[in-house]
Structure 1
Amino acid sequence: MNIYKLTLIALLAALAVVGRVTFSFLPSVQPVTALIIICGLILGPFAAVVLAFLTTFLSNMMLGMGIWAIWQVVSWSLIGLLSGLIGKIPGRKPLLVIIIFAVFSGYLYGFLISLTSYQITGKFLPYYLAGLPFDTNHAIGNAVFIIILYPLIAHFFKKYADKRFTIQNTS
């Protein structure tokens, strides 16, 4: 991982932390998942996992740290890995496909976070069902943030993406 890529990850981490803290008044609506998806698509799966760790640790320093932080890292890392694998598929990804994946990621995140309740209380289903409205907020928020942020970030990261995809196509 070179300095340029680390700088891009640090920029996304700062944006994710500020976005998470800024939108903390809205339940489950935050740009973090969308930024991790964008990072995975453009910078690759490892970069998305690094972003997941950084964002979780730094934002939880302000919002509160607890047992759920482990599950946040696991959830966002898995979403980052999946988006990184999607990013490795050759060809241009339609925005609609990315939006559908972002909506799915909102529900996947909620499912994995609900495992925290099982870990502590041994009851999963009541907690998961009670959290579905929040998962829906998260999924819709992801779609909106992808619509707003993906074209913008992809444009600004075009230099890196062009270099990355040029290297991939020649090997």
Structure 2
Amino acid sequence: MNTYKLTLLALLAALAVAGRYAFAFLPNVQPVTSLVIICGLFLGPVAAIFLAVLTTFLSNMMLGMGIWTIWQVVSWAIIGLLSGILGKLPYKIPLLVIVVFSIFCGYFYGFVISLTNYPITGKFIPYYLAGLPFDTYHAIGNAVFMIMLYPILAHFFKGYITKRL
């Protein structure tokens, strides 16, 4: 990983942490998932996983660390891996497909977080169903953040891609 890529990751992590903190008053609405997806699309799966780990630990230092931190890392790392694989496709992915993928990732994140309750209580379905409204907030937030952030960040990442080639 070169210095330029590390700088981009540090800036994305700072943006994600600040965004997560700024939107803490809205349940489950934060730009982290969208930024992990964008990072995976442009910088690859390893960078997206690194961003997921960095963002989760840094933001949870302010918002509260707990056993859920591990599962947040797992969720965002899988999302980063999937988006990194999508980014390796040889053709340009339309913004609408990326927005739909970000909506799916909002529900996927909630699903993984809900799985963590099963070893404790032995019940998954009630916990998951109770969390569906929050997963919907996350999915809608992802779509809004993706529509707002993707065009701007894509412009900057294209500069990185041309420097890399």
TM-score in terms of structure 2 length: 0.98
Q: Which residue of 2 aligns with 1:110?
A: 110
TM-score in terms of structure 1 length: 0.94
One-letter amino acid of the structure 1 residue matched with residue 14 of structure 2: A
Alpha-carbon distance, 1:135 to partner:
0.4
Identity %: 75
Q: Which residue of 1 aligns with 2:97?
A: 97
Alpha-carbon distance, 1:98 to partner:
0.2
Q: Which residue of 1 aligns with 2:63?
A: 63
Q: Which residue of 1 aligns with 2:38?
A: 38
SS of the residue corresponding to residue 92 of structure 1 reads coil
Find the aligned partners of 1:77 and 1:89 in 2 and give their Cα distance.
19
Find the aligned partners of 1:4 and 1:100 in 2 and give their Cα distance.
30
Deviations 1:35-84 (A, max 9, x none): 00000001000000000000000000000001100000000000000000
Deviations 1:115-135 (A, max 9, x none): 111132221111000000000
One-letter amino acid of the structure 2 residue matched with residue 25 of structure 1: F
Residues 1:122 and 2:115 aligned together: no
1:163 and 1:62, CA in 2 relative to 1: closer, same or farther beyond 3 A? Answer: same
Q: Which residue of 1 aligns with 2:19?
A: 19
Residues 1:141 and 2:130 aligned together: no
Find the aligned partners of 2:133 and 2:83 in 1 and give their Cα distance.
24
Alpha-carbon distance, 1:91 to partner:
1.5
Q: Which residue of 2 aligns with 1:76?
A: 76
Alpha-carbon distance, 1:163 to partner:
4.1
Structure 2: state its 5+ residue gaps: none
SS of the residue corresponding to residue 42 of structure 1 reads helix
